[in-house]
Amino acid sequence: MKKLKSNRLSHLARGEEFPTPAQKKIYAAAETVPAKVARRLEYLRAELRAERISHGELSELQSLAPYIAPDDVELLEAAGVPEHTQERAAQHTPEKGGGL
């Protein structure tokens, strides 16, 4: 067996930039996760509108609720997110002169 010579900091000793271009590509790919989530949410929206969304897809939609825009009532309602959160309810308490 050949013994591999590995030094994690060897690229810095040679004056290479950090992160390397290859690492920058990996980081850029990792940042596209929200884009993948957005595509999945649009797929689930289409299934919901076509009235053929499965129980598994509804469960997936619930797990993706943090990624749904606050003004997207259609997906939020299907995901089971309450219309009025506790924060909003606290802002409009009768003691403060506001009402729901």
Domain boundaries, the chain: 17-87
Q: What is the reported pLDDT for 86?
A: 41
State the pLDDT at residue 17.
65
Task: Tell me the C-alpha distance between 15 and 9, whole Å.
Answer: 10
pTM: 0.55
pLDDT in tens, 65-94: 999 988 999 999 999 999 875 444 344 444
Kindly state the greatest CA–CA separation across the chain. 78
Structural tokens at position 74: 């259609």
Angle of helix 33-49 relative to helix 21-31, nearest 10 degrees? 30
Per residue in 26-54, pLDDT (tens digit) is 766 665 568 899 999 999 999 999 999 99
Among the listed residues 48, 97, 95, 54, the one whose alpha carbon sits nearest the alpha carbon of residue 72: 48
């219309």: which residue's tokens?
83
